[in-house]
A = this chain, B = another copy of it.
């Protein structure tokens, strides 16, 4: 049942299309559909701060799906909320400003993979030196790569400053 008190915010066809495309991209990166669409809405909507019911009715989600989706995105810090004095509602908004750090940090989970490769190299038979060498090369490359990421970040920061 749809208990629609018309909190839905109006969206153009293009906006709806972009929300879906953004959602698909999220899905491909481990974000559940509803959560991905919520985050997309908050980045596409003209109004930047939306309430629970505005999100729910705009995206045609159930209360539970809205609640879980919002909480997933809050937990992963991709969205945040503000409150207003004398108003019990929370106003959710995208955290785009912090997605930059997010973007470079996400690769650090490859550290675990790097460690795993090192462990594998440690227990491999000595009969296959070329193959073992390839594994060694892979993990030292990944290690090197991850070490370079903060440098990219710094380089960009200084470059931006000098341009502006």
**A148 and B155 contact, CB distance less than 8 A:** yes
| 22 CB-based A-B contacts, threshold 8 Å | A15-B123, A18-B116, A18-B123, A22-B116, A25-B116, A28-B30, A44-B120, A44-B123, A46-B124, A46-B128, A94-B131, A96-B131, A96-B138, A97-B134, A99-B138, A103-B141, A104-B145, A141-B156, A144-B159, A145-B156, A148-B148, A148-B152
Q: Complex: how many Å from CA A43 to CA B155?
A: 36
Q: Complex: how many Å from CA A155 to CA B99?
A: 27
Contact flags A78-105 to B (C-beta < 8 A → 1, else 0): 0000000000000000101101100110
A7-53 residues with Cβ-Cβ distance < 8 A to B are 12, 14-15, 18, 21-22, 25, 28, 30, 43-44, 46, 48
Question: How many Å from the CB of A133 to the closest CB on chain B?
Answer: 10
Q: Please report the total number of A residues contacting B with Cβ < 8 Å.
A: 45
Copies in the complex: 2
Q: Complex: how many Å from CA A127 to CA B46?
A: 8
Task: Return chain B residues, CB-CB under 8 Å to A46.
Answer: 124-125, 127-128
Which of B18, B127, B128, B155 lies in contact with A119, CB distance below 8 A? B18
